Chain A
Amino acid sequence: MKNSLFYRIFGTYIIITLIAMVVVGVYATRQIKDTMMERIEGELTSYAGILSRGFSKSEIQDTLKAVSDLSNARITLIDAGGTVIADSEEEASRMDNHLNRPEIQEARIRNTGRAVRFSTTLEIDTLYIAFPIRKMGDIQGYIRLARPLVEIRQSVRDITLLVLQSFLIVGALSLLIAFIFTSRLVSPIQEMERFTRRLQDGEEPGTLIIGSTDETGRLARNINYLVRELKEKIRSADEEKGKLEAVFSSMEDGILVLDTQGRIEGMNTAVQRIFGLNPEEMIGKALMEILRKIPLHQALNQFKETGGPLSREIVLENGDLMVIDVTISAVQGLPPQQEKTMIVLRDITRIKKLERIRADFVANVTHEIKTPLAAILGYIETLREGAIEEKETAGNFLKTIQKHAERLNRLVDDLLVISNAELGEMRFSFESVSLDGVIENVLTAIEPGASKKGIHIESNMPEDLPSIRGDRDRLHQIVLNILDNAVKFTSDGGTISIRGVERDDGMVAVMISDTGIGIPHGEISRLGERFYRVDKTRSRELGGTGLGLSIVKHLMAAHNGRMEIESQVGRGTTVSLIFPVFHENSIA
C-alpha cells in the first residue's frame, strides 16, 4: 500500500477523537440529565407540597389548572382508594384506579413518591411526583404531578448533535494534520526507500540528502555511512578476490574443488587446459562424468575412507598422452558438514619424459661402452690362448682391437663434448668465420671415404656468402658430423650436395642434401636425442656413437643457430644448418 503510513496515522487520530467524543458525550449527557432531573424534581416537589396542604373542593378544577399552567405539569388528584377525583388535562371519571401506581404506593408509605416511567400516551419519559393529602394524620387522598421530560430529551439531543458536529470538525482537522504530518514523515522515508532500492538493483546510488535533523535525518546520515562502508568493503573484497583469482588462475597446476556431493564446484584455467574442456561443461558435474580413470577414482575412494591426502599418477589420452600427478586433499578450515575436496593436477609429462631419457641414457652409455669392450676382451682372450703365435691373425686381431678402442675413445670424446655443452662449460673462441672455408676443410677430410664409396660431392657455396660469428673448430665438428652421416647413410654411387644461401631473415643457411636412405617422418623429432638411432645395428656397424646429431644440436644452439631436417624415406635427407649473419659489432 503506497500510503499505508498515512492511513495508519489518520486512522489513529480518528479513533482517538471518536473515543474522546463518545466519552465526553456520555458524561455530559448523564450530567445534564441528572442536573435537570434534580431541578424539575425540586420544582414539582414544591408544587406538590403546596397542593397537598389542601384546597377547597369547589375550586379543585381551577386550582389544578392554574398550578398545571404554572408548573408545566399535569396534576391529578386521587382519593385514598386510588380513584381519580380530578385531573388537569383529562376527565377524571375516564381514568382507572391509580392506587397501584409506584409513585402513589411510595407516597403512601414514605410520605413522598417519585417515579420515572415511559408514558405511552405521550411517548416520552415522564417524571411522576406524588404527595399524600392528610387530614388529622390520615391519608385523605393523593396529589400527583406528572411532567414529561421533554427538556431533558431535547438537551440530550442537542448535546449529541454538538458532539457529532465537533467530531466532524475534529475529524476534518485530523485528516488535514495527518496528511501534513505523514507527508512530512513519509517523503524522506520514501526517498530512503527509493535510495535503498537503487542500491539493491546495483545502481550507483550517490549520496542520500535529507534536510531534516530529526530521526529521519540521522537515519539518512547512517544510511550514507553504511553505503560508504559497504562500497569500501565490496571494493576491498573484490580486490582480494581479484588477487586470489589471479594467483589461482595463473598457477601452473590445475586445481579442482569438489563439493560435499562430489560435484565440481570450482577450478582454475590450468584444469581447462589439462582436460581440454570448458568450465561450463564441468561445473556441477561429478568427476566421474568428466574423467573416467580407475586410478583416480580409486584414489578418491581411498581418500573418502581415510580422509588423508594422497596422490596418484594418471595417464590422459586426449590427443597427446599426458601424465598427470593427482593430489587429493581436504580443503582446510571448513565446518564438518561442508567439507570440500581439493584435487591438484600437475602435468608431469615432461618430467616423465626427462626421467625416461635419463634412464635411457645410462642404459645406452653402458651398452655403447660394453659392446666394444666385449669385443676387445674377446680378441685379447683369443690372442692369449695362442692366436698370438700366428702372426697374420694376431695382426688382424690387434687391428680390430685398435678399431674398437678408437671407437671407445671417440665415444668418450663425444660424451665429454656433450657433457661440457650441457653443463655450459664448453669454451668457445668466437670470431668472424667464413663457412666456405670450413666446408672446404671438412671436405678434404671426408673426400677419401666418399670416393671409396663412389659418392659424388658437389659444393655450391657462393663467394659472397656473409660470414658468421663462430668458433672455427666447433663449426668444423658440426659440418663434419653432418657430412659424415651423409656419407655413411648414402649408398654407393650416390650424390651429396652442399648449398649455401643468405636468407631474407638475416640468417645464413647451409643445406646438405644426400640421396641416402632417408629418415621416417616420425623419427625426425627424436634425432637430437642422445644415442637415438633410427636403425640401431646399422648405425653401429658404420661406427657411429649415436651422439653425433646430439652434439650438432648443442653446438648449433651455442652459435645461436639451429638445425632443421627434412627427409623422405628412400629419397634422401636434407640437413639445414642455419646461423645468424655476423655483424662487426656483435663481437664482444
Chain B
Amino acid sequence: MEEKTHTSMQYERELQDIKENLLYEGALVEHAIHRAMGSLLERDSDLARAVIAEDEKINALDEKIESACIRLLALRQPAARDLRFLTTTIKVNGHLERMGDLAVNIANRALELNEVPPVKPYIDLPRMADLTREMVRESLDALVREDRDLAVAVREKDEIVDNLNEQIFRELLTFMLEDSKTIHRALLITQISKSLERISDHAEGIAKMVIYMITGKIVRHRDPGEAI
C-alpha cells in the first residue's frame, strides 16, 4: 500500500516536472523572441548571437520533454486526463521548439541587417513582435489556467498579426519599387515579419489545442479528483 502511494506520488511529481519544463521552454521562447527583436531594434549583434547560441537550451528542453512524455506513456499507460495532458504536451512542445527556431531566424536576419544602414525606422514590426510575444505568453497561460476565453482571445490576435504582416510587406514593396538598392534589406525585414507571423500561428495552434482540451473536458467532466 505504501509502495503504491510512493509510486503514485512519484508519477504526480513526474507529470508536474514535465509541465514545469514545458512552461520553462515557453519562457525561453518568449525571451528569445524578445531578445531577437531587441537585437534588431537596438542593432545589437552580440545579443543576436546570444539568441542563436541559446536555442541549444530550447532544443535540449524539447528533447527532454518529449522523451519524458513518451516514457510516462509507455511505463504508466495513463488514462483520461493525464493521457490528454501528455499528448497535448507533446504537441505544444513541438510548437514551442519551432518558435525557438523562428526566433533564431529573426536573430540571423538581424545580424545581416545590422551590417547595413537601416531602410526606415521600425514602427509596425515592434508592435507585431509585442503582439506575437503576448500571444505566446497568453496561449501558455490559457493552457496552464485552462482558460478558454484567453485561448479565444489569442486566436483573435492572430488576425491582427496577419494584417500587420501584410501591411509591412506592402510598405516594403513601395520602398523596393522606389529604390532597388533597398530590395535586399527589405526582403530581410519581410523574412523577419514572416517569422513573427509564423510564431503567432504556432501560438494560435496552442490556443486551439487548449480550446479542444477544455471542451473535451466538459464532456468528460465526471472525472473527479484529478489535477493537472
Where the two chains meet, the residues of A that have a C-beta atom closer than 8 Å to any C-beta of B are 261-262, 281, 285-286, 288-289, 292-294, 297, 317
Contact = CB atoms under 8 A, between A and B. Distances in A.
Interface of B: 13, 16, 19-20, 23-24, 26-28, 30-31, 134, 137, 140, 144-145
B20 A292 contact: no
B19 A289 contact: yes
Nearest to B144: A289
Contacts of A293: 27
A281 B20 CA distance: 16
Nearest to B35: A294
Given A281-B145, A297-B24, A297-B27, A292 B137 contact: yes
Contacts of A262: 20
Nearest to B228: A289
A262 B17 CA distance: 11
Given A281-B145, A289-B144, A294 B28 contact: yes
Residue from B19, B137, B144 whose CB has the most chain A CB atoms within 10 Å: B144
A380 B16 CA distance: 75
Residue from A262, A281, A292, A293 whose CB has the most chain B CB atoms within 10 Å: A292
A577 B26 CA distance: 51
Nearest to A318: B137
A550 B171 CA distance: 39
B30 A286 contact: no
A292 B140 contact: yes
A288 B23 contact: yes
Nearest to A287: B20
A292 B145 contact: no
A292 B28 CA distance: 8
Given A281-B145, A289-B144, A294 B19 contact: no
Given A281-B145, A294-B31, A286 B16 contact: yes
A294 B16 contact: no
9 contacts: A286-B20, A288-B19, A288-B27, A289-B20, A289-B23, A292-B30, A292-B140, A294-B31, A317-B134
A317 B23 CA distance: 17
Contact of A292 (B13, B16, B19, B23): B23
Contacts of A292: 23-24, 26-27, 30, 137, 140
B145 A288 contact: no
A289 B20 CA distance: 7
Nearest to B133: A317
Nearest to B16: A286
B68 to A, nearest CB: 15
Given A281-B145, A289-B144, A294 B27 contact: yes
